[in-house]
Amino acid sequence: MPPIRVLFLCTGNSCRSQMADGLINLDFAGRIEAFSAGTAPHGLNPLAVEVMQELGVDISGFSSDHLSQYEGQCFDYVISLCGHADETCAARLCGAERIHIGFDDPPKAQGTEDEVMAVYRRVRDEIRSQLGDFFLRELESLAIRRAQKVSR
């Protein structure tokens, strides 16, 4: 069975989409193939790299890609993680189901260094939990549908 292909989308492709890309590729290796892009990419966020490294996930080599790089490719899901990308994305990607699952924007966090890092960690953990739950349900549903086809 080929892996589910998913494209995570944010405006800047610097933080939330990069974290989702790294986490889903780690947690669902071989079952889901994740990518990330932005509607107006502006480079990888160093604090996102830092909080991912805390989990042993190295995203330092990831690139901040524009959505146009993926035009013509087929995805099972395109998931926007920020409201702006959800509102402005007009791209048509082959076979993709568009879904919005929004998260706070860590670069907008204010406060001390510890307070800001706590926001990055919270959002990272929410991404892992919410997207993980979503994909576990999707994989279970897919397995049931395939089993039903085989039994017919």
Q: What is the mean pLDDT of residues 89-110?
A: 81
Active-site positions? 10, 82, 89
Which two tokens mark 64?
């901040």
Domains annotated for the chain, with CATH where assigned, are: 4-151 (3.40.50.2300)
Degrees, nearest 5: CA angle 8-80-75: 50
Tokens, residue 75: 């995805």
Label residue 56 left, alpha or beta by phi (over 0 means left) and psi (-120 to 50 means alpha): left
The sign one gets for the Cα dihedral 45, 47, 50, 52 is: negative
Q: Which amino acid is at 9?
A: L
Q: What is the pLDDT of residue 111?
A: 97
Average pLDDT, the chain: 90
pTM assigned to the model: 0.90
Proportion of the chain above pLDDT 70, given as a percent: 89
Mean pLDDT for 22-40 is 95
**Nearest by Cα to 98 from 113, 106, 109, 87:** 87
Instruction: Give yes or no for residue 86 having a pLDDT over 80.
Output: no
